[in-house]
């Protein structure tokens, strides 16, 4: 792994190295506590491999290599693989024969310390690899190894990243540079980044990746591009990562020269079969297809009068002989001015439950609209019991500050995973209804992968929660902070910032259940006044419905009745504004500005104070961060300081523009403690950012 160590300075008990962030959480810097380091060295000083272990297996090879790199860095010991015969001390790697230790499943592992010997046992190479990363994490976070006995198995078989990366190197909604996949120089050039990307994914348990955009390009299925994809798959294999591609539904026409892409047409069926066969000759362990169909202009089966199930099934049948799967996205909505966008995916897909082939998974965004700072969980979770479902979350921050705002996403992920759908009685959490989790990736060619150093924590948290949705955000952030910053004195504050920041973003952008108030197209900055786009549901005014009398989207029976899509227990709480959690109030209810909130204040005053609280939260983060100068390497400290400056300016912009706009409708004064917007609403409306990043390319 490449590291750039520019300067070593400061000797306040520990060494702080200049750090460019490339190494992510896999830094493996020497453990400074000599007693602890010696204890680890005694326990891990020798390595023996049980006879069943095949050292030519690529995953075993990757595990051994990581172990050596990690222990060399952390402890300064050179662990030669198979250097010692199986003995009573040191580290032993074991492959469990079938029938032994049934608590360890595929990809799982056991780490067990008894009588001076530490054993890492797994069923397969990937289990050894995940166990290796876990063991290294124990050292990186200073855990005691004596008496340890833990078993880990992934909660879901599919833990997958979705890259919205285009073949021309741009990234849709990407804020960290260009795509890390260089389709021009593949397959010959294997960038070290491909390896380090795979290592980072494996270290948190991610086992699959879709390397192309959901707004797909059929060119990826041309032989030369498939060869490039195969070269990536070859790199990823050693790290237990399966490669998937997005499939453009019209590929049989665009690439195959057919006249139709009708999924029931025999020539189309044959085209997909032949294409799948071809892919598997190049990538024998190819994972399958991710499809966005009949959504935002993407082609799909509806064009031929066929259902989503009929569309998905033709691809599923082509992949089935090879063991591949189709991930079919439920992100659909049309432009009917009378329909509620939040209700449409459910209406389209719930009636199709039971009509998909066994190797189709439905991929559902966490909320019913589109990756907003806060949404209720999608009502589809738990409502399609015969269809395996993947939860889709967005790591790239399209709607949460576009990569420059510090906003830890683990609490957002945790909120949806733990939400109770009540579909099979109390306790039917979203997590319990899933077959896997997909995350829209946030990495790019930025030296530190994610642009803002703290965005690395979102990649980390995604993987950890996809492996174990029972983990808490705090546990995850404690690990990340310990592995990312050397000085233990900063960890608690870093964790607090990560835990609280998402709520700050909600407050200064879309408090109390407001949503989709971002500017048009790029979604950068506030645009609550926008009401003239040709598709009604692209207008922020469609979502907030504010006028002189009140604000909010009535989704109860007196409004769109989208609430009816939830289980009765959910409806009972949310349906009444008095019991609806305040954070979802205006998502489900349209209320007068003087509506009395539970704390006795008016809705307007409460809303205004939330905006101000969000800004104050950012100010708090900036102060805390400034106070840690000297305890954090200067490169990352400066980077975060600069990003926090942007965040504070933009948080104030969101607050001022939103309040000025709502005041222009209701004419109400601001409560004490909330500053007057420095400009009129017309000023905020006049701002324009044609080159805001991450915009969707049009073709
Ligand atoms: C929206 C993005 C758009 C994506 C779309 C999707 O604005 O760029 O193509 O989601 O998920 O959030 O397909």
pLDDT, tens digit, 9 for 90 and up, residues 118-134: 999 999 999 999 999 99
What local confidence, expressed as pLDDT, does residue 100 receive? 85
Pairing of strands 325-329, 288-291: parallel
| Distance between first and last Cα of the chain | 38
Separation in Å, CA 191 to CA 66, 187, 195, 324 = 18, 10, 7, 27
What local confidence, expressed as pLDDT, does residue 696 receive? 61
What local confidence, expressed as pLDDT, does residue 636 receive? 96
Between the CA of 341 and the centroid of ligand 1 the distance, in Å, is 14
Separation in Å, CA 635 to CA 6, 19, 148, 491 = 10, 6, 37, 18
What local confidence, expressed as pLDDT, does residue 88 receive? 62
Contact criterion met (CB below 8 Å) for 626 and 495: no
Statement: residue 2 has pLDDT above 50: no
For the domain spanning 158-480, the CATH number is: 3.20.20.80
Between the CA of 281 and the centroid of ligand 1 the distance, in Å, is 32
What local confidence, expressed as pLDDT, does residue 3 receive? 40
Between the CA of 394 and the centroid of ligand 1 the distance, in Å, is 10
CA 78 from centroid of its chain's CA atoms: 36
Q: Of 15-19, 93-97, 200-204, 256-260, which gets the smallest average pLDDT?
A: 15-19
Q: What letters, b where the CB count within 10 A reaches 16 and e where it falls short, cover 93-103?
A: bbbbeeeebee
Catalytic residues: 296, 370, 398
> How deeply is 423 buried, as exposed, middle or buried, from its count of CB atoms within 10 A (0-12, 13-18, 19+)?
buried
pTM summary value = 0.96
Q: Where are the domains of the chain?
A: 25-151, 158-480, 507-553+590-686
Residues 601-623 have a mean pLDDT of: 98
What local confidence, expressed as pLDDT, does residue 103 receive? 95
Residues 18-32 have a mean pLDDT of: 95
Between the CA of 39 and the centroid of ligand 1 the distance, in Å, is 50
pLDDT in tens, 359-414: 999 999 999 999 999 999 999 999 999 999 999 999 999 999 999 999 999 999 99
What local confidence, expressed as pLDDT, does residue 537 receive? 87
Residues 414-427 have a mean pLDDT of: 98
What local confidence, expressed as pLDDT, does residue 697 receive? 54
Contact criterion met (CB below 8 Å) for 19 and 2: no
Q: How far is residue 459's CA from residue 444's CA, in Å, rounded to a whole number? A: 12
What local confidence, expressed as pLDDT, does residue 6 receive? 39
Q: Of 5-19, 83-97, 167-181, 292-306, which gets the smallest average pLDDT?
A: 5-19
Contact criterion met (CB below 8 Å) for 93 and 47: yes
DSSP H/E element including 254? helix 251-254
pLDDT-based confidence at residue 91 (cuts at 50, 70, 90): very high
User: Over 48-114, what HEC string results?
Assistant: EECCCCCCCCHHHHHHHHHHHHHHHHHHCCCCCCCCCCCCCCEEEEEECCCCCCCCCCCCCEEEEEE
In ligand 1, the atom with minimum distance to the C-alpha of 295 is 13
Best mutation site among 165, 248, 296 for ligand 1 pocket (most ligand atoms within 8 Å of CB) = 296
Joined together, the tokens standing for residue 546 give: 């504010």
What local confidence, expressed as pLDDT, does residue 335 receive? 73
pLDDT-based confidence at residue 699 (cuts at 50, 70, 90): very low
Residues 79-105 have a mean pLDDT of: 79
Best mutation site among 696, 698, 699 for ligand 1 pocket (most ligand atoms within 8 Å of CB) = 696
What local confidence, expressed as pLDDT, does residue 81 receive? 58
DSSP H/E element including 150? strand 149-152
Minimal-distance CA residue to ligand 1 atom 10 = 370
What local confidence, expressed as pLDDT, does residue 79 receive? 81
Contact criterion met (CB below 8 Å) for 231 and 186: yes
What local confidence, expressed as pLDDT, does residue 9 receive? 41
In ligand 1, the atom with minimum distance to the C-alpha of 440 is 11
CATH architecture of 507-553+590-686: Alpha-Beta Complex (3.90)
Q: How far is residue 148's CA from residue 54's CA, in Å, rounded to a whole number? A: 26
Q: How far is residue 643's CA from residue 403's CA, in Å, rounded to a whole number? A: 9
Between the CA of 502 and the centroid of ligand 1 the distance, in Å, is 21
Taking phi over 0 as left and psi of -120 to 50 as alpha, with beta for the rest, 433 belongs to: alpha
**Rounded percentage of the chain residues whose pLDDT exceeds 70:** 96
What local confidence, expressed as pLDDT, does residue 302 receive? 97
CA atoms within 13 A on the CB side of 239: 26
Ligand 1, residues at Cβ distance < 6 Å: 172-173, 214-215, 292, 296, 331, 370-371, 398, 696
For the domain spanning 25-151, the CATH number is: 3.30.379.10
Pairing of strands 288-291, 242-246: parallel
What local confidence, expressed as pLDDT, does residue 336 receive? 77
Q: How far is residue 681's CA from residue 674's CA, in Å, rounded to a whole number? A: 17
Minimal-distance CA residue to ligand 1 atom 3 = 696
What local confidence, expressed as pLDDT, does residue 89 receive? 73
Statement: residue 5 has pLDDT above 50: no
Report helix angle 456-467 to 192-203, nearest 10.
50
Contact criterion met (CB below 8 Å) for 411 and 473: yes
Rounded (5°) CA angle 667-670-676: 100
Best mutation site among 170, 173, 391, 697 for ligand 1 pocket (most ligand atoms within 8 Å of CB) = 173
User: Among 697, 521, 691, which Cα is nearest to 164's?
Assistant: 697
Separation in Å, CA 1 to CA 28, 136, 196 = 11, 16, 7
For all residues of the chain together, what is the average pLDDT? 94
Statement: residue 177 has pLDDT above 70: yes
Q: How far is residue 472's CA from residue 14's CA, in Å, rounded to a whole number? A: 29
pLDDT in tens, 473-508: 999 999 999 999 999 999 999 999 999 999 999 999
Contact criterion met (CB below 8 Å) for 418 and 401: no
Statement: residue 113 has pLDDT above 90: yes
pLDDT in tens, 645-686: 999 999 999 999 999 999 999 999 999 999 999 999 999 999
Statement: residue 12 has pLDDT above 80: no
Between the CA of 466 and the centroid of ligand 1 the distance, in Å, is 22
pLDDT-based confidence at residue 698 (cuts at 50, 70, 90): very low
Peptide bond into 343 cis (omega under 30): no
Kindly state the DSSP code that residue 320 receives in the 8-state scheme. Answer: G
């Amino acid at each position: 792994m490449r590291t750039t160590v520019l300067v070593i300075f400061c000797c306040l008990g520990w060494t702080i190295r200049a750090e460019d962030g490339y190494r992510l959480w896999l830094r493996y810097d020497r453990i400074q506590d000599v007693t602890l380091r010696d204890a680890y060295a005694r326990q891990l000083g020798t390595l023996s491999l049980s006879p069943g272990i095949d050292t030519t297996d690529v995953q075993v090879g990757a595990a051994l290599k990581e172990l050596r790199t990690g222990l060399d860095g952390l402890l300064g010991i050179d662990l030669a693989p198979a250097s010692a015969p199986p003995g009573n001390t040191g580290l032993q790697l074991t492959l469990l024969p079938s029938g032994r230790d049934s608590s360890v499943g595929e990809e799982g592992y056991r780490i067990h310390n008894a009588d001076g010997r530490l054993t890492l046992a797994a069923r397969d190479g990937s289990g050894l690899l995940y166990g290796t990363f876990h063991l290294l994490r124990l050292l990186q976070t200073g855990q005691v190894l004596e008496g340890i006995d833990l078993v880990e198995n992934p909660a879901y078989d599919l833990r997958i990243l979705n890259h919205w990366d285009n073949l021309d190197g741009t990234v849709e909604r990407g804020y960290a540079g260009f795509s890390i996949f260089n389709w021009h120089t593949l397959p010959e050039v294997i960038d070290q980044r491909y390896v380090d990307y795979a290592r980072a994914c494996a270290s948190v348990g991610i086992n699959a990746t879709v390397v192309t955009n959901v707004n797909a390009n059929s060119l990826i299925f041309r032989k030369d591009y498939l060869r490039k994809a195969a070269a990536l798959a070859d790199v990823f294999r050693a790290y237990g990562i399966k490669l998937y591609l997005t499939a453009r539904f019209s590929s049989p026409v665009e690439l195959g020269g057919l006249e139709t892409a009708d999924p029931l047409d025999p020539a189309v069926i044959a085209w997909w079969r032949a294409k799948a066969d071809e892919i598997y000759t190049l990538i024998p362990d190819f994972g399958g297809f991710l499809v966005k169909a009949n959504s935002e202009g993407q082609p799909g089966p509806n064009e031929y009068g066929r259902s989503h199930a009929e569309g998905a099934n033709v691809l599923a049948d082509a992949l089935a002989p090879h063991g591949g799967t189709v991930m079919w996205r439920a992100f659909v909505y049309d432009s009917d001015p009378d329909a509620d966008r939040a209700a449409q995916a459910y209406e389209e897909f719930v009636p199709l439950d039971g009509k998909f082939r066994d190797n189709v998974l439905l991929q559902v965004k966490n909320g019913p609209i589109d990756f907003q700072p806060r949404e209720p969980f999608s009502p589809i979770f738990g409502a399609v019991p015969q269809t395996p479902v993947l939860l889709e979350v967005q790591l790239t921050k399209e709607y949460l500050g576009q990569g420059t705002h510090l906003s830890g996403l683990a609490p957002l992920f945790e909120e949806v995973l733990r939400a109770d759908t009540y579909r099979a009685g109390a306790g039917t959490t979203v997590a319990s209804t899933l077959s896997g989790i997909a995350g829209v990736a946030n990495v790019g060619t930025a030296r530190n992968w994610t642009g803002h150093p703290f965005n690395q924590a979102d990649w980390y948290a995604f993987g950890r929660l996809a492996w174990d949705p029972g983990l808490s955000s705090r546990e995850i952030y404690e690990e990340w902070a310990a592995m990312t910053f050397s000085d233990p004195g900063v960890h608690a504050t870093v964790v607090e910032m990560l835990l609280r920041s998402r709520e700050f973003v909600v407050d200064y952008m879309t408090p109390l259940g407001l949503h989709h108030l971002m500017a048009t197209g790029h979604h950068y900055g506030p645009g609550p006044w926008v009401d003239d786009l040709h598709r009604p549901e692209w207008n922020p005014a469609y979502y907030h419905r504010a006028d002189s009398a009140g604000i909010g989207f009535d989704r109860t029976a007196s409004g769109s009745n989208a609430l009816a899509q939830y289980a009765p227990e959910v409806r009972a709480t949310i349906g009444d504004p008095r019991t609806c959690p305040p954070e979802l109030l205006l998502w489900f209810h349209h209320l007068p500005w003087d509506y009395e909130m539970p704390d006795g204040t008016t809705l307007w005053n409460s809303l205004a104070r939330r905006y101000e609280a969000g800004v104050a939260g950012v100010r708090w983060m900036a102060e805390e961060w400034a106070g840690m100068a000297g305890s954090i390497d200067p490169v990352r400290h400066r980077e975060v300081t600069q990003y926090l400056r942007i965040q504070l300016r933009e948080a104030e912009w969101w607050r001022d523009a939103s309040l000025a706009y709502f005041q222009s409708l209701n004419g109400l004064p601001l409560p004490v403690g909330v500053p007057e917007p420095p400009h009129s609403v017309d000023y905020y409306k006049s701002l324009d950012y044609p080159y805001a990043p991450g915009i969707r390319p049009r073709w």
